[in-house]
Amino acid sequence: MDKQALYTYLKEKGIPFEAVEHAPVYTVEEALALNLPRPEAGAKNLFLTDKKKRNYCLLTARDHIPVKLKDFQKAIGLSGLKFASEEDLMAILGLIRGAVTPFGALNDTDHRVTVYLDDYFRDHEISVHPNHNTATVYLQGSDLAALLREHGSRVKFMDLEHLGEEET
């Protein structure tokens, strides 16, 4: 699904969103340099797999929170997580490097990917690419999760900021 098809899909589903077109960006740093509105909604996305390529995860965290992969994989019960290949990214999510987004799960017709969203986005706005890195879409995280679940994707919210911290 390209970005225009995604915009149409969001409208058909009645999901309020705002899209901001911009030059292509490939990193969080490049996106931040654009000075887009509402920086608190910023997200970064990691497409991960285990060594045997049996489990795929799309991890969406707030862009300023360090991702603790060892703690993440322990929390979800997997080991040996690594970045998935660009070939798998295209074959499964229909995305290129630099355009990773939870919306890619809409291209995952076999529902191989579990999407993990930072718990912060459950009650806040999120900004992500619309399957292309030349725009940013703002919408409520709960709407994004509902849309992906309706599609058949597994979506889980996790407190990524506090992963691995001991409870006191």
Cβ neighbors of 166 (< 8 A, separation 6 or more) are none
Please give the model's pTM, rounded to 2 decimal places.
0.93
Q: Domain of 132?
A: 3-158
- Residue 14, in any domain of the structure: yes
Is residue 164 one of the residues assigned to a domain?
no
CATH code where residue 30 lies:
3.90.960.10
| Cα–Cα distances in angstroms (integers) from residue 7 to residues 2, 89, 133, in the given order | 9, 21, 14
Contact 137, 21 (CB under 8 A): no
State pLDDT tens for residues 31-59. Answer: 888 888 899 999 999 999 999 999 999 99
What is the total count of domains within the chain? 1
Tell me: pLDDT of 152 over 80.
yes
What's residue 29's pLDDT?
A: 86
pLDDT tens across 65-101, in order?
999 899 999 999 998 999 999 999 999 999 999 999 9
Predicted confidence (pLDDT) per residue in 100-109, tens digit? 999 999 999 9
Beta bridge partners of 61: 44
- Cα dihedral 153, 119, 138, 41 in deg (nearest 10): -150
Phi, psi of 52 (to 5 degrees): -90, 5
Mean residue pLDDT of the chain comes to: 94
Model pLDDT, residue 30:
87
Give the pLDDT band (50/70/90) at residue 168: very low
- Judged against a pLDDT cut of 80, whether residue 166 lies above it is answered with no
Mean pLDDT of 152-162: 95
| 110 assigned to some structural domain | yes
CA 2 to chain centre: 16
